[in-house]
Amino acid sequence: MNRSALLAVAGRELGTVVRTRSSVALAAVYALLVVGVAWTAGLSGYLSATLDLLAPMEALVPALALAFGYRSVYDDARSGELDVIRTYPVSRSGFVLGVYLGRLAPLLVVVAAPFVAVAVLVAVGGGAGSSVIASHGGADTWVLLVRFAVLTEMFAAVALAVALVVSTVARSLRGAIALGVAAAVALVVGFDLGIVAALGAGAVGEGSLQWLLAASPNSAYRGLVLQTVLGAVTTLPTPAASAPANLLGLLAWLVGALALAVVTVWPGGGR
């Protein structure tokens, strides 16, 4: 892989995102929503902020990631610039990885920024501690919020990889939008509904439940947050999920989506 080409592609994507007003507007809206949710919930502590934000994040992060990435490759294909790039010594994997990394960097900053704001607000105005968990067994520390933020970044990275696939397979702007919405719906509720349906139909045994939960990015993310944040401070029984399985699930989605994007980024024909 040509590293300099990869970095050039990444730099171009980063420059594009930074200079695109809609990206900046999206980042601002996302930050306001996250801080707003935490604020209205009371900012009583780091743990409660995590619990208050978990459900909104499951919807906001995929939506944000898809907005950041669903047109990334499609725009180049539509304008014809992708054809030009293909005449340079750039491999499919180098190009896809460059686009991914170039979009991931600003996305991670945007995702993390409101966590900093929430942490500051809790530190300054909070302090009542968590009262929602009766069996609270640990300290309510900022480390919990950091863990939550890191896991949210991982979730965002997976969602962006899915967005990249959308951008490589879309053949029209409408198609890209439709695919983006479909991917967002699938990530937010679709896979979870599939798990519920499988459980309802008795198609899944108790032993394979943890793998089924890990197979859904949303569920894997939720499970990891509950296990590593909630599980760290409570004696309550943790959900029937496995942290390694969930990590493996997210990793599989990340690698699988990027691999699919590499395959579909441009036709196999040509010289």
Partner 1 sequence: MTEDDGGRGASEVRADRAAATGADSGSVEPVARIERVGHAFDGLEVLDDVSLDLRPGSAVALIGPNGAGKTTLLRIVAGLLRPDAGRVRVADGRRSNAGGSEARRPVRAGDEEAGARGARSVGYLPQSPSFRPRFSVAETLEFYADLVPGPVDVDAALDQVGLGSVRDRRVAALSGGMLRLLGVAQAIVGDPPLVVLDEPTGDLDPAMTDHVFEAVESLAAGGTAVLLATHDLTGAERADEVAFLDAGRLVFAGPPADFVSETGAASLPDAFLRQVRGEDGVAPAVRRGVER
- What is the contact surface with partner 1 in residues (CB under 8 A)? 1-2, 4-5, 7-9, 11-12, 15-16, 19-20, 79-81, 83-91, 94, 267-271
Compare residues 79 and 235 and give the one whose CB is closer to partner 1. 79
Cβ 31 to partner 1 shortest distance, Å: 23
Cβ 156 to partner 1 shortest distance, Å: 24
Compare residues 105 and 117 and give the one whose CB is closer to partner 1. 105
Compare residues 50 and 72 and give the one whose CB is closer to partner 1. 72
Cβ 80 to partner 1 shortest distance, Å: 5
Pick from 178, 148, 180: which is nearest to 164 by CA? 180
137, 127 contact by CB (below 8 A):
no
Compare residues 72 and 218 and give the one whose CB is closer to partner 1. 72
Tokens of 89: 């010594």
Separation CA 98–CA 5 (nearest Å): 8
Cβ 254 to partner 1 shortest distance, Å: 23
Q: Please name the amino acid found at residue 40.
A: T
Tokens of 44: 């009583």
Q: Give the CA count within 13 Å in the CB-facing half-sphere of 103.
A: 28
Q: Please name the amino acid found at residue 21.
A: R
Beta bridge partners of 234: 136
